[in-house]
Structure 1
Amino acid sequence: MADGADVIAPIAPKGGSWITSARHRRWLSDQGQRLLDFSKESRLPVGFGSLDTTGRMPDDATPDLVVTARMTHSYALGALQGLPGAVPLVDHGLEALIGPLKDHENGGWHDGSGRKQAYAHAFVALAAASAHVAGRPGAKALLKEIVTILETRFWSEDEGVMRESFAPDWSDEEDYRGANANMHSVEVSMALADVLDAPVWRERALRIVTRFVHEIAAEHDFRIVEHFDRNWTILKDYNEDKPDDDLRPYGMTPGHFVEWSHLLLKLEAALLAQGEGAPDWMLGHAEKLFRAGMRDGWKTDGNPGLVYTIGWDGRPSVKNRAHWAQAEAITAAAGLLKRTGRTEYERWYRTLWDYLDLHVIDRRCGSWHNEVDGENAPSERIYRGKPDLYHAYQSTLTPVLPLAPFLAVMLERTEAIGPVRGDL
């Protein structure tokens, strides 16, 4: 099969599908480039920061580790497509990650929380992997360093998951295990497996997925349980007093159900493409996760959009709609459509883009509203400003690309640009 072919999703939806339409693909490309152009304003003297809702940089803005890593990753994807302006921004992000944002005394990276968090370090690894594929100076050394940190500090071989966080000197491991950090660790593990030609990272991704989805979500009606202590006791009242926390909100997050859904599809594709074998439950679980997310999150308060969180009773907890949840649902619907050819996923794909176009894309100030409220009016209850490019931009790429390999590797192959990668 030709390099870059989608080995697990040979079913191409028949005529009439948006994802096979040249016109829709041009629309996606246009939207992606608009997102990239808008976020160029987030550049600071060191790294990248969060723009306000109008696209301006606040006077008191400071570099943010996660924003910097996500911008570096996103512009590396742009660089691999030959988009002007992208390469200098990748290099700018790398300079910050290699320099001021790094903890040169203890190792690892500062994220402003006072902790060394697996969540933030996963994005540093994602940035390093994509920049390395794009052939940027310094990326190889950064990738080697972050891989060592992930393996020696965060990966728990006994549990098959990532540890959550530590004090700056790597003492005081947090008494917590979280689905969010591990979900993004699945993404970066698949990236590392492809970029480093290291199957052990796919094995780790499968172990994380097995625990959080096959063993836990399958016992909870395919709802992703988010919060546990280190003994894997479910913390049902975790952050009950902070229901709109931006990383660890109370209850469950339907947007994460659909995000895990497409990660399962991508991991299944990656395993089969490498001849490593994939558990036969992966597709069925991916479909059930997607349906659970849309069942519990979509229009459950009467208005369109995927709500931020639900309580343990299944009812909406925070009715605001985060842009990233809609973007992840789009990626999942597109993946399921390619994987199965079923028209229900075509309907969802169109419905989600219709919603985003009418309620989330900000045609007055640019980019997307980071969130809207239950009436679909712009809001800043959960997130301030417009700091995020990563989720939105990837949703303009994933519908037209195969499920595997990693996005940067796929773009390198399809665009026939970029260096040959080698061992670190």
Structure 2
Amino acid sequence: MSQHTHRDPSRLRDRLVRVLNHYYPDCIDTRFGGYVAQLDERDGHVYDGLTKHLVATCRAIHNFSVGIKRDGPTYCRATAEHGLHFLRHVHWDETHEGYNWILAGREPRERTRYCYGHAFAVLAAATAVDVGLPSARKELERATSVLDDRFYEPAHGLYADVADPEWEELGAYRGQNANMHACEAMLAAYEATGEKQYLNRAAEIADALVCENTDNGCLWEHFDETWTPDYEYNWKDPDHQFRPWGYQPGHHVEWTKLLLHLHDHRPQDWLVETATDLFETAVETGWDDEYGGFYYTVDREDEPVSSDKYGWAVAEGIGAAARLAVHDRSYLDWYDRLWTYADRVLVNPRNGNWYESVSREGELPDQTHDVAVEPGYHPISNICTAIDVFEANPGLLE
């Protein structure tokens, strides 16, 4: 496949639609409402039609809203509206005013309040506002209010991570990941509404977390309640779903993309410089020169902790390299290299969806059929980023 295929906006749109088509129509839950996210990544069969994870719900709303924006299939609008209604009326806890983390059908299974999940509610609502879905603006205001009223800590300019279901106490843990996605959500909310408070908050998060906490191009994941790095957190649980121990190259390139996105709206030299440093750190310490792909995590001596390769990290690298190429064309080499690896190892040739993870050598793992939180969000978001870059900068197509 020609490298220019990876840069052609029309062909990129086709890739985006293939991911959406993998999930539709089986993702529509006609029994309980909302989405079925647990579709087998190899053949697409539903293996759990009951469990509803807040993050999966929000990401699917976002995905189908992106489909509307990109002139995708006609089903996108009704499907996005379907999910937004479920988020608003079922995930939402009217008594305590927050989103329940996991549902069984329509009943709460896990009510813990996570900043990470509420950040994705902001993202979902913002993308829905951007494409004019009914009630999206009210949901954006509600989700933002909870995020700011319950999690935001003005002394640090960042968000706490977790609270009990009744909002009586915040946990001591503070995390990079939730704040990164809060920054992403605030940028989306600013673009959807034009309201500067969202852009201001995105800039505040980036400044407090990335500008103040990078160490030689590295960004640690885990902190205590004073935002002091906790280098022991989860060191015995390196494969934790949301909080693995170690540096994550995938998050370094994800921040590259976000800092450059922020720079588009509020240019500052440090944003481009730091974005470049984070990307270079990711490829120097996290890229597997023998088999390709980013190691999931590396230790403080740049040695792999988990050598598995995750599809989301490569997808984020694609978005990051596309944005970097606007400032330095040489990053198109990484853009093409990442797509080559993705097509060879991560993209399901049958359906066009992306595998969640593979071994270091690129082999699919034994199927575990866990609760799904990734219904194509990372590929769709970063394909969309690449489309934006190449449409705005046609010279990069040459």
Q: TM-score, with normalisation over the residues of structure 2?
A: 0.89
Shift of 1:198: 2.0
Is residue 198 from structure 1 mapped to residue 195 from structure 2 by the alignment?
A: yes
Q: Which of 45, 48, 57 is matched with 1:68 structurally?
A: 57
Cα deviations by residue, 1:305-326 (Å, 9 ceiling, x for unpaired): 1111111221111111110000
1:392 and 2:387 are equivalent in the alignment: no
The residue number in structure 2 matching 1:18 is 4
Question: What corresponds to 2:260 in structure 1?
Answer: 265
Does 2:222 align with 1:224? no
Q: Deviations over 1:114-149 (max 9, x none)?
A: 421110001111111111222212212211211211
Shift of 1:42: 2.3
Contact kept in structure 2, 1:266 and 1:404, CA below 8 Å: no
Equivalent residues in 2 for 1:20-419 (5 A)? 24-40=8-24, 41-44=26-29, 45-48=32-35, 49-53=37-41, 54-59=43-48, 61-83=50-72, 84-112=74-102, 113-217=110-214, 220-271=215-266, 278-299=267-288, 302-341=290-329, 343=330, 345-364=331-350, 366-379=352-365, 384=370, 387-402=374-389
Greater length-normalized contact order (CA 8 Å, ≥ 6 residues apart)? 1
Secondary structure class of the residue paired with 1:319: strand
For residue 241 of structure 1, give the secondary structure of its aligned residue in structure 2: coil
Please give the secondary structure, in 1, of the residue aligned with 2:295: coil
1:222 Cα deviation (Å)?
1.1
The C-alpha deviation readout for 1:258-300, integer Å capped at 9, x for no partner, is 10011110001111xxxxxx43211111100000011111115
Aligned residue in 2 for 1:412: none
Contact 2:40-2:369 at 8 Å conserved across structures: no
Once the two structures are TM-superposed, the CA of residue 212 in structure 1 deviates from its matched residue by: 2.0
Structure 1 residue 385 displacement after superposition: 7.9
Measure how far apart 1:366 and its partner are: 4.5
Displacement of 1:382 in angstroms is 9.3
- Over 3 Å counting, the alpha-carbon distance change for 1:256 and 1:127 in structure 2 is same
Once residues 257 and 19 of structure 1 are traced to their aligned partners in structure 2, the CA distance between those partners, rounded to angstroms, is 26
Distance 1:382 1:263, change over 3 A: farther
CA contact (8 A) 1:244 1:381 kept: no
Question: Following the alignment from structure 2 to structure 1, what is the Cα–Cα distance between the partners of residues 5 and 21?
Answer: 24
In structure 1, distance between residues paired with 2:391 and 2:14:
23
**Number of residues of Structure 1 aligned to a counterpart in Structure 2:** 377
Extract unaligned runs of 5+ from structure 1.
1-15, 272-277, 406-424
Instruction: State the alpha-carbon separation in 2 of the partners of residues 179 and 392 from structure 1.
Output: 21
What is the rounded CA distance, in whole Å, between the counterparts of 2:118 and 2:383 in structure 1?
Answer: 25
Query: What displacement does 1:85 show?
Result: 0.6
Determine the C-alpha separation between the residues in 1 that align with 2:48 and 2:211. 47
Unaligned runs of 5+ in 2: 103-109, 393-398
Judge which range, 311-320 or 199-208, deviates more: 199-208
Q: Secondary structure at the match of 2:305?
A: strand
- CA distances 1:232-278 after superposition (whole Å, capped 9, x unpaired): 2211111112111111001110000010011110001111xxxxxx4
What is the CA deviation profile of residues 24-62 of structure 1, one whole-angstrom value per residue up to 9, with x for unaligned ones? 333212111100111122222322222123211114531
Indicate the RMSD between aligned Cα atoms, in angstroms.
Answer: 2.2
Task: From the superposition, tell whether residues 365 and 189 of structure 1 become closer, same or farther in structure 2 (CA, over 3 Å).
Answer: closer
Question: Greater strand share, 1 or 2?
Answer: 2
SS in 2 for 1:321: strand
